[in-house]
Structure 1
Amino acid sequence: MTSAEIIELTDKYVMRTYGRLPLALVRGQGARVWDAEGKEYLDFVAGLAVCSLGHCHPAVVEAIASQARKLMHVSNLYHIEPQAKLAQLLVENSCGDRVFFCNSGAEANEAAIKLARKYGKIHGGQEKYEIITALKSFHGRTLAAITATAQPKYQKGFEPLPAGFKYVPFNDVEALSRAVNPSTCAVLLEPVQGEGGVNVATPEYLKAARELCDRYNALLIFDEVQCGLGRTGKFLAYQHYGVEPDIFTLAKALGGGFPIGAMVAKEKVAVAFSPGDHASTFGGNPLACAAGLAAVGCLLNEGVIENAARVGAYLKDRLLELAGWFSFVKEVRGLGLMLGMELTVEGKEIVSKCQDRGLLINCVDNHILRFIPPLVITRAEVDEAVEILAGVLAEMKQ
């Protein structure tokens, strides 16, 4: 099919829940993707931080193919070898003790919300159910997850929202201190906010959150769906801060492109769930966990995380160069290969012009360009991307 035919078919039959760009991608390899006509693009979106190993990494492809020939799905009524092995790998490389598998980041956060409320009621009574989140956060699209997401644009039209959520400004220690109280069962934060504009938590903020949770017997939950799994130059973003959560959530990069999510908790918290309290038909299926084992194994053993830190620093320096050239670039921020460039102008046209020149980037909050390329990206590919972006910004300046 041609791109036009794919777009026409999509418009006719698929629900219009996405503001899609006029582009139909049909193939990917490494940091490159191609449309139906064969035009090549350098991908600095990576499936929205999903394809951290690049597109179609051989180890992930082989793991999926091999597992598909043996067993794709069985119920969680039975024990599943790849699930057990992936749980072990995540626990041995984090502060967690037990893992619940699901299919997405929203589901992982739903599981965390349910576990926090169950734990709160066991240890603090029926009134200990309040969850505090940060303004500009994003935690998913299910009803509880959009309620946790402190951005009204995601909530509009879906009221009434579930009760028991409270919002505070990100990185405001004083506001967080005023908000946490005996009814608080959890504080849910992204160490680096993604959809909210690539906002990086300060060490003081996360340490204060940990201390407040300890003081009020509440749980500290880190949403690492986007910022986890090597994206910031550490395996998990919280490892930059010396602050351990009681629960953290993962998805996106966990399957190397295959859908899988996980909620990881410390033992004292995990025991609040009993059989029947939570479940997922497809969660932790053999195929997804085989992909996860391959993807996480590559992240940990092939220098991918170190590359994210090294090349991420280089990309940040190159973006800061552009900030010095163009007055409408307000700030460059982020960690590793999770970077944002805040503009004083809207970014939609810049995204479109970059796409025309063969570079895929993303814009959040209308005026923040987000750079989340595969973690295997090279300095040469960074230079290629920055050259295209510089040309577009120069055109915008004129």
Structure 2
Amino acid sequence: MKLTVVGGGSTYTPELIDGFARLRDTLPVEELVLVDPAAERLELVGGLARRIFAKQGHDGRIVTTSDLDAGVDGADAVLLQLRVGGQAARQQDETWPLECGCVGQETTGAGGLAKALRTVPVVLDIAERVRRTNPHAWIIDFTNPVGIVTRALLQAGHKAVGLCNVAIGFQRKFAGLLGVTPADVHLDHVGLNHLTWETGVRLGGPEGEDVLPKLLTGHGDTIAADLHLPRPLLDRLGVVPSYYLRYFYAHDEVVRELGTKPSRAAEVAAMEQELLQMYGDPGLDEKPGLLAKRGGAYYSEAAVDLAAGLLGGGGSPYQVVNTLNRGTLPFLPGDAVIEVQAAVGPNGPTPLAVPAVDPLFAGLMAQVTAYEDLALAAALRGGRDRVFKALLAHPLVGQYAYAEGLTDRLIAHNREHLAWA
């Protein structure tokens, strides 16, 4: 089995490598190719990757290359984990929206739109080259904003599935609170990427006992503290929202906070420099503890599970993925990309049935789906007016004066990445 990671020079990659090494019985990788144009980073990451494989007794071959076409040739699956513009672009995404009184964040709101506009054309170009070289390969997208990027891939006819680590993080958190193994926990997870709610927590599988009420009663304070949301809100909702919902439920509070501390991008950039220095140590042969603070926790387990399911090698029977709606949520268009539990096999994911969704959540999903429609149109076709309409439709913007100011700033800060600007 051959897997290719596009963006293999990312500081995330050793987390992925560690998972491939530990879970080799689930996903027997014979050749792993790391593709990245940043030669110096790729050399550091590739060296550590080989040492991790060697320490854990994995006999798979690790190849590093800047040649995308050679890297994806013959691959069974291609994982996308790239960041167009790097941390410098992320720093801008998290900064200029604050000038208009809006949340500055890299995957939602105005910053998330900027990232989509930079990313979608690049990902589609990569996917077309994969299709020309190896049309049967699955594309697993971990590149944010995952929902919009995955929809672009599916709309263009690619064999693609989107992946996020939010659900697997909740699964492990809840398992710890309940004193069970993560495999015992099945989430009733519903929404769009970075706009999801855990509406049930079941023991043993989709038909198991729902222990969410017990979790909220016994551990509500802990869960609320992790989400930085008040406990009474969780009690009133009766569900556990993703931590990204704080941008919606406490927008003004978050804007004030973001204006008083360094950006997450600045923190991550400093962390990345420290990680790369560690990766260059020839004595390091395991992922460092600092990597857990970088983000992407449990990404490797989710990626292994998904790849194994798609390639027919096993994995968990049900997995949370980003895939086409096709009637799963009847209040959304069939071609919307939703994030739900699905049975994953060689033919792709098949979403499980979802009980009726509370209008409180369904309404926000519908509004953000409409924004994603407009965002994808702007990413594919360009134009200031399309950018403005997408921003005006986003619930974190919503006012025409904000949308005007944000449109000007978005274009000014991203001109080098926008072919039409």
Do both share a fold (TM > 0.5)?
no
For normalisation by structure 1, the TM-score amounts to 0.34
For normalisation by structure 2, the TM-score amounts to 0.32
Looking at both structures, which has the greater relative contact order when contacts are Cα pairs under 8 Å and sequence separation is at least 6?
Answer: 1
Greater percentage in helix = 2
